[in-house]
Chains A and B, each alone.
Chain A
Amino acid sequence: MAVAEKRIILKYADEPGYTPDITCYMKHGGYQRLKKALGMKPEDIVNEVADSGVRGRGGAGFPMGMKMRFLDRKSGKPIYLVCNADESEPGTFKDRQIIHKDPHQLIEGLMITAYAIQAAQAFIYIRGEMYQGARMLETAIEEARAKGFTGANIGGSNYSCEIVVHRGAGAYICGEETGLLESLEGKRPYPRIKPPFFPAVLGLYQCPTLVNNVETICNVKHIVDMGGKEYAKIGRPNNTGTRIWSVSGHVKRPGYYEFECGALTYGELIYDVCGGIRDGHKLKAVIPGGSSSKILRAGERFKGKNKDGSEFDWGIEDIPLDFDGPMAAGSMSGSGAVIVMDDSTDMVEAMANINAFYAHESCGQCTPCREGSLWLRKITSRMCAGGARAEDADLLKSVADQMAGRTICAFGEAASWPVQSFIAKFKDEFVAKAQQAGNASKAPTGRGFRLIG
């Protein structure tokens, strides 16, 4: 039997009659946690967040409390808070549910976080395509300001903080935190080199900056509500709280679902919660955490040791639905986007689709990602157009290997991990494409033509 959803963030979002305006929000206890927070010492809130163990929901899963503590308070520079609402990882559609259905929850979480780090100014950087969400946020901010929950002297506490909603212009790379900060400063979103430009020290306008995802920031409200230690009891150790999973692909009931971390497995999510694979088809593969995470093949076995020393031996279906589960299986939970593929999927076509996305979204700043992502796209496009060669699979992997770990930001990995994992797990399909194209019998050109010597 399917595990029941545990809705904390989306508790009211889909309730009949629940509207995104402030009246409805306050009727449901809205802004009470902000009032409570304003009565606390800022550092106590930071401690509660650290105690809660809440990890970032944007993709990297970095503990939020640690990030807050990293903020450089000695420099005397103003501290900025930026909410990353540039949700654009293919397969992810969780943050927009919050923004569209419960924007005040985000604003309350944002103001609590801002107070906790004593931010001088808060920003919501929202994906350009989500113009409706941006409008709703602005309306919500005005409502909150009218009630004294943002702006000057919030709740009579002497603490003041404004929120600015900034719309992106349609680039995936703006979700990378330093690219986002560049964009917010009005420049091309070229990610910054780290070191030295760690946001906690040299962030927005070279000031210490905290950047967190929408869902993460909403969690702060609930941490203040129940207390960090109490919050930490939800989920598993190191995987605390709930997560919203965006399920797409060949399941009967795709959608977003909020579960306690580790309360169920990927198998239960796919078969019980989402109704299983389309009729007449079988599961072929799962991308467990957004298109940049490494793909998992049905029938594959994942073996290793748990932290407590016990051994595990999982199929896809057995992987716990949390942060550490997919990590142990060699992939990641990323932004919580589960993409399910059944046996009708042509893996070369799927690869071509993913490659096209990353080639289009590479910012072009550093060489390996700029040139590698487009090269990958050109190869898989050619393969799909009937020009596949026997050596293309190895070439794809080699190109991806030349990108991963050598770029300014994590985009290099985001674009190469899918390729590395597709080739590792579905190489036969890439080779078969060459056979279909009648190119397999041709002697591989191997080293190509010589340029020098």
Chain B
Amino acid sequence: MSEESKKPQEVTINIDGKDYKVPAGMNLIDAVKKASGKEIPHYCYHPKLSVVGNCRMCMVEMGTPMIDRATGQPILDDKGTPKIGWMPKPAIACASKATDGLHVRTDSPMVQDCRKGTLEFLLINHPLDCPICDQAGECRLQEFATDYGRGYSRFVEQKNVKPKRTQIGPRVMLDDERCILCSRCIRFCREIIKEDVLGFVNRGSYSTLTAYPGRQLDSNYSLNTVDLCPVGALTDTDFRFKMRVWFLKPVSSICTESSVGVNTEVWSREGKIYRITPRENDAVNDSWMADSGRRLYKQVEADNRLLTCKTGGADVNFGEAVTKAASILGSAKLAIVGSAHSSVEEQFALALLAKAKKASVSVPAHVGEGDSILISSDRSPNTRGALVTGLVNTLPNPTLSDLESAITSGKIDALLVVREDITQAGIEAAKLAGVRIVYIGTHANATSQAAQVVIPIPTVFERNGTFINQNFRIQKFNTCVPAPADMRSELKVISEIAQAIGIEGLDGLTVSQVWKQMTTEVQELTGLSFESIPDHGTQLQAGRFASIRFPEGPSLHYTPGATSIAKA
């Protein structure tokens, strides 16, 4: 958030009797967390949103050294240490910044009493329906009530009644009785996506969250409000009632929706994915992601998912498929269609295969409209990877006109297609009859139907690897769920085919092994290894591609043209 990206000045603050150095002006909640590891409980505060101070959960005691007005010197106590003038009333930490000499008590009797009081107030009109609430297990109200609450209720009156099960948007369900009125969702809509659709009506304890008349929360970023909601008031209609969160295992991944490379967490149980949420990365997506990207896990169990090897439309085992593929790909008139959905490692391996076969490679581009936030106009996650690995030397084009004329003229008679439907890239399905095709991909499409050999491979959720985003930031994705039984990885398939057609040096490819070769052969990846790339990615120096006019417009943390000279 901070605009002063130069060397931040450090100040000393005292937290519960111990001095810590923190950046000057840092929000006190963040500063206390960073310095001492102590969490000041809070609901309404969020580092990416404006400060409103309405939940009153983050109350602490604050004080500063007393100064003698006459001399301007600090007043010392008997021990010679400065006397602290404590404010008589508690203050909210979220509206305070770290200043030199600030003293904070985060666990004094007064602070404990404030937390008890606030939690009691938040709970008196709360339905306490945790047993049927999706937020249970990751609910700040539950957590703080257990950590700081009284543990019993003194409330014997009737609770307020508010609307339940309000479909506030196509993907978001609202339960107003659970709402603690922290206004995070309102501020998100107003400040981040600039679509002011939510607000409060009525007043006092009857205040109710709702959408403006005639409007609904239908932004493609609406589900971020569900993530932001500290309680179970806003829930995702897709995830609602599907699975208890404590059964789910989160795995770090990367969204494949566009070249932004949104960092995600993929939540699964027993090999089945239930939801995708954003993972904070302040260089890429802050704490947000698009709704559409959250639904991409559905491709794993899609009806048209390819699960078995096929030759001539009949199921065969992997060995037979590779033998048949080799008989086609042995042709001297071979062309290869690679993909910007393949990982850096897969693209590099395919480039090696193409080089050995002296086959031409084309990669179709997927271009859509960017939303200037977290979906760019390049709708594939790894176009930069195809350039960096040398799979292609020019910016991919949406139509494969060169390939089409090569097919028409008979210059090629065999085609290896990876993850792409070339009928969507300007090549008529009828034309495919003129060539023999080996298709390696995840889902059935017109190309797989025309192919003589089909070999299924894993989706992004079932393998690991790296993508390079629009900023030339290389980011890792991990295996979230196992691939279907008997399915080989794309690297393995390339490796086996290479062996079958007599190309050496490509056997037994794994991600780590490919990296050993890439780090010496690919200029941008020198000195890196798969293991050394941190969870939030590594910025590559990509001056080599400065002259390429990429299709993306400006979006969050991305300015076209500015990043090719970016330093690591």
* Minimum CB–CB distance for B64 against chain A, Å: 14
- Determine the chain A residues whose CB is within 8 A of the CB of B146 once the complex forms: 452
Which residue among B145, B156, B207 has the maximum number of chain A CB atoms within 10 Å of its CB?
B156
Interface residues of B in 115-142 (CB under 8 A from A): 116-118, 120-122, 124-125, 128
Q: B114: which of A363, A378, A395, A406 is its contact (CB, 8 Å)?
A: A406
Question: Could you tell me the distance between the alpha carbons of A371 and B199 in the complex, rounded to whole angstroms?
Answer: 19
Question: Could you tell me the distance between the alpha carbons of A368 and B57 in the complex, rounded to whole angstroms?
Answer: 10
Question: Could you tell me the distance between the alpha carbons of A240 and B187 in the complex, rounded to whole angstroms?
Answer: 45
- Determine the chain B residues whose CB is within 8 A of the CB of A445 once the complex forms: 156
Question: Could you tell me the distance between the alpha carbons of A379 and B116 in the complex, rounded to whole angstroms?
Answer: 20
Interface segment among B46-54, B322-330, B516-524: the answer is B46-54
Closest B residue, CB atoms, query A194: B95
- A196 in contact (CB, < 8 A): yes
- A367 in contact (CB, < 8 A): yes
* Minimum CB–CB distance for A386 against chain B, Å: 14
Contact with A along B178-201 (1 / 0, CB 8 A): 001100000000000000000110
Q: Contacts A407-B56, A453-B151; is A361 near B121 (CB within 8 Å)?
A: no
Let me know if A408 and B154 touch, CB within 8 A. no
Question: Could you tell me the distance between the alpha carbons of A431 and B204 in the complex, rounded to whole angstroms?
Answer: 28
Q: A451: which of B59, B89, B128 is its contact (CB, 8 Å)?
A: B128
- B385 in contact (CB, < 8 A): no
- B158 in contact (CB, < 8 A): yes
Let me know if A378 and B158 touch, CB within 8 A. yes
- Determine the chain B residues whose CB is within 8 A of the CB of A395 once the complex forms: 154
Let me know if A363 and B151 touch, CB within 8 A. no
Question: Could you tell me the distance between the alpha carbons of A64 and B205 in the complex, rounded to whole angstroms?
Answer: 35
Closest A residue, CB atoms, query B182: A367
Q: Contacts A375-B155, A382-B157, A406-B117; is A364 near B53 (CB within 8 Å)?
A: no
Contact with A along B510-537 (1 / 0, CB 8 A): 0000000000000000000000000000
Let me know if A408 and B152 touch, CB within 8 A. no
**Does more than half of chain B's interface fall in helix, strand or loop, or is it mixed?**
loop
Q: A364: which of B52, B118, B207 is its contact (CB, 8 Å)?
A: B207
Closest B residue, CB atoms, query A375: B124
- B25 in contact (CB, < 8 A): no
Q: Contacts A368-B117, A402-B121; is A448 near B154 (CB within 8 Å)?
A: yes
* Minimum CB–CB distance for A134 against chain B, Å: 22
Closest B residue, CB atoms, query A370: B205
Q: B151: which of A193, A374, A403, A450 is its contact (CB, 8 Å)?
A: A450
Question: Could you tell me the distance between the alpha carbons of A217 and B14 in the complex, rounded to whole angstroms?
Answer: 45
* Minimum CB–CB distance for A227 against chain B, Å: 31
- Determine the chain B residues whose CB is within 8 A of the CB of A193 once the complex forms: 51-53, 92, 95
* Minimum CB–CB distance for A370 against chain B, Å: 5
Question: Could you tell me the distance between the alpha carbons of A317 and B78 in the complex, rounded to whole angstroms?
Answer: 47
Interface residues of B in 78-92 (CB under 8 A from A): 89-90, 92
Closest B residue, CB atoms, query A362: B204
Q: Contacts A364-B181, A367-B118; is A408 near B203 (CB within 8 Å)?
A: no
- A195 in contact (CB, < 8 A): yes
**Does more than half of chain A's interface fall in helix, strand or loop, or is it mixed?**
loop
* Minimum CB–CB distance for A258 against chain B, Å: 35
Closest A residue, CB atoms, query B88: A405
Closest B residue, CB atoms, query A447: B152
Closest A residue, CB atoms, query B208: A364
Q: Contacts A359-B205, A406-B90, A451-B151; is A368 near B121 (CB within 8 Å)?
A: yes
* Minimum CB–CB distance for A357 against chain B, Å: 11
- A365 in contact (CB, < 8 A): yes
Let me know if A379 and B157 touch, CB within 8 A. yes
Let me know if B205 and A362 touch, CB within 8 A. yes
- Determine the chain A residues whose CB is within 8 A of the CB of B145 once the complex forms: 451-452
Interface residues of A in 405-446 (CB under 8 A from B): 405-408, 445
Closest B residue, CB atoms, query A450: B152
Question: Could you tell me the distance between the alpha carbons of A148 and B113 in the complex, rounded to whole angstroms?
Answer: 58
Closest A residue, CB atoms, query B158: A378
- B153 in contact (CB, < 8 A): yes
User: Interface size class for chain A?
Assistant: 35 or more
Q: A359: which of B149, B151, B199, B204 is its contact (CB, 8 Å)?
A: B204
- Determine the chain B residues whose CB is within 8 A of the CB of A448 once the complex forms: 152-156
- Determine the chain B residues whose CB is within 8 A of the CB of A447 once the complex forms: 152, 154
Contact with B along A167-195 (1 / 0, CB 8 A): 00001000000000000000010100101
- B212 in contact (CB, < 8 A): no
Let me know if A451 and B153 touch, CB within 8 A. yes
- Determine the chain B residues whose CB is within 8 A of the CB of A327 once the complex forms: none
Let me know if B125 and A371 touch, CB within 8 A. yes
- Determine the chain B residues whose CB is within 8 A of the CB of A103 once the complex forms: none
- B55 in contact (CB, < 8 A): yes
Which residue among B128, B151, B158 has the maximum number of chain A CB atoms within 10 Å of its CB?
B151
Interface residues of A in 195-216 (CB under 8 A from B): 195-196
Let me know if B204 and A367 touch, CB within 8 A. no
Q: A362: which of B122, B155, B203 is its contact (CB, 8 Å)?
A: B203
Let me know if B59 and A406 touch, CB within 8 A. yes
- B206 in contact (CB, < 8 A): yes
- A113 in contact (CB, < 8 A): no
- A136 in contact (CB, < 8 A): no
Q: A366: which of B54, B120, B156 is its contact (CB, 8 Å)?
A: B54
Q: Contacts A370-B204, A379-B157; is A408 near B59 (CB within 8 Å)?
A: no
Which residue among A378, A395, A445 has the maximum number of chain B CB atoms within 10 Å of its CB?
A378
Let me know if B158 and A361 touch, CB within 8 A. no
Interface residues of B in 465-492 (CB under 8 A from A): none
Closest A residue, CB atoms, query B114: A406
- Determine the chain B residues whose CB is within 8 A of the CB of A171 once the complex forms: 203
Given contacts A371-B125, A375-B157, A448-B156, 13 further A-B contacts (CB under 8 A): A196-B95, A367-B122, A368-B118, A370-B205, A371-B121, A374-B160, A374-B206, A378-B158, A403-B117, A406-B117, A448-B152, A448-B155, A450-B151
Nearest 4 A-B pairs (CB), nearest first? A402-B117, A371-B121, A364-B207, A374-B205
User: 15 A-B pairs, CB-CB below 8 angstroms?
Assistant: A193-B92, A195-B95, A196-B95, A362-B204, A364-B206, A365-B52, A367-B180, A367-B181, A368-B118, A375-B155, A389-B156, A403-B117, A406-B59, A406-B118, A448-B152
Residues of chain A whose beta carbon lies under 8 Å from any beta carbon of chain B? 171, 188, 190, 193, 195-196, 359-368, 370-375, 378-379, 382, 389, 395, 398, 402-403, 405-408, 445, 447-453
